[in-house]
Amino acid sequence: MNQFKLAEEPSSSELRVERACISIGRVQIVQDVSFNAQAGEFVAIIGPSGSGKTTLLKAMTGELAYSGSIRLAGMETGKLSAEYMAQMRGVLPQASQISFPLNVAEVVGLGVIDRRQGRDARARRIKDALAKVGLHGFEGRGYQELSGGEQQRVQLARVLCQVWEPVADDGSPRWLFLDEPVSSLDIKHQYQIMQLASGYAAAGGGVVAVMHDLNLTATFADRILVMKAGKRLSFGRRDDVMQADLLSDAYDFPLALTRFGQSGVPLVVPGADTAG
């Protein structure tokens, strides 16, 4: 009968969101959401448009104020300085307009925040990051002249530069917060970027991504948070969440699941009564 049982000891390798509520102006967008993500796993946040996914992500990255608790490595994120947070996590926003004609190398270079880096190390880091997102040799191109998909990959390269090693020198994991990282990419690059993100997790970093594409989510996510109308509808392992009735409820649309290939990855398709 002990209601005051001790909270679980916060681990230095997790993101823990507890009863987070987020309001923009007077409108409460996110209500009472709890979930956690461990270093080494890819956690996807899914749900229909307007369900509060991006708002929740923005609270985790320090952009929006929240009530409740959002702890990264045991520390309340709302109390950390911008500099400190920048060492721990990188953030890929949904769309990125830049105001002046920077070239690609200059945009990516903004992510190299470690000022101990020499000029050569810096240039090499930029080059490697561009190669990772499949934009090898794009250094001198004007950012504003690129397609939307290319711009998104340049931004991801910038974020990668910021948190290059998934595990910091002191052994603490670094985090990637991605807001619809593949929304404007073609299918080849969608898979490349998703592989990159899950590779980051496999190497010991933490990845939290807002996702629209359920099939990519089913392929790459370890755990999934399902949001609906600002609340948590479900949170759990991929196979527990990827259920036809749960997803149909989340999206208010009949969805069915099938298994594809030998890997047995669930494939989400419209439900039977919508096919006709």
Partner 1 sequence: MTGIVLPERAARRFASSGGNREPLARAALVLLAVVAVLTMLVSLAIGPIAIPVLDILPHVPGRVLAASAGAPEGVSVRDWIVVTEIRLPRVVLGALVGAALAVAGAVMQGLFRNPLADPGIVGVSAGAGLGAALFIVLGNTALAPVMAVLGIYAVPLAAFIGGLITTLLLYRIGTRGGITSVATLLLAGIALGALTGALTGLLVYAADDQQLRDLQFWGLGSLAGSNWEKVASAAPIIGVMLVSVPFLARGLNGLTLGEAAAAHIGIRVQRLKNISILLVAAATGASVAVSGGIGFVGIVVPHLLRLTIGPDHKYLLPASALLGAILLIAADTLARTIVAPAELPIGIITAFAGAPFFLWILLRKRGLTGL
* Residues of the shown chain interacting with partner 1 in the complex, contacts defined by CB under 8 A: 58, 61-63, 81-83, 85-87, 90-91, 93, 96-107, 110-111, 113, 119, 123, 139-142, 162
> Smallest distance, Å, CB 19 to partner 1?
24
Measure CA 226 to chain center. 14
> Smallest distance, Å, CB 227 to partner 1?
21
CA separation (Å) from 215 to 93, 155, 187, 205?
Answer: 21, 24, 12, 23
Query: Which DSSP symbol is given to 178?
Result: E
> Smallest distance, Å, CB 4 to partner 1?
37
C-alpha 254/C-alpha 273 separation (Å) is: 8
Which residue number, 101 or 270, has a Cβ lying nearer to partner 1?
Answer: 101
Are 18 and 69 in contact by the 8 Å Cβ rule? The answer is yes
Strand partners, 158: none
Backbone angles phi, psi at 265, to 5 degrees: -70, 130
Which residue number, 53 or 58, has a Cβ lying nearer to partner 1?
Answer: 58
Torsion of the alpha carbons at 226, 253, 211 and 241, rounded to the nearest 10: 40
Which residue number, 132 or 238, has a Cβ lying nearer to partner 1?
Answer: 132
Beta strand 27-38 with 67-72 is: unpaired
Which residue number, 126 or 224, has a Cβ lying nearer to partner 1?
Answer: 126
> Smallest distance, Å, CB 261 to partner 1?
38
Length of the chain: 276
Which residue number, 122 or 231, has a Cβ lying nearer to partner 1?
Answer: 122
Backbone angles phi, psi at 43, to 5 degrees: -110, 125
> Smallest distance, Å, CB 21 to partner 1?
20
C-alpha 234/C-alpha 79 separation (Å) is: 28
C-alpha 28/C-alpha 196 separation (Å) is: 34
Distance in Å from the first CA to the final CA of the chain: 55
> Smallest distance, Å, CB 113 to partner 1?
5
Which residue number, 46 or 92, has a Cβ lying nearer to partner 1?
Answer: 92
Which residue number, 62 or 166, has a Cβ lying nearer to partner 1?
Answer: 62
Are 268 and 218 in contact by the 8 Å Cβ rule? The answer is yes
> Smallest distance, Å, CB 187 to partner 1?
27
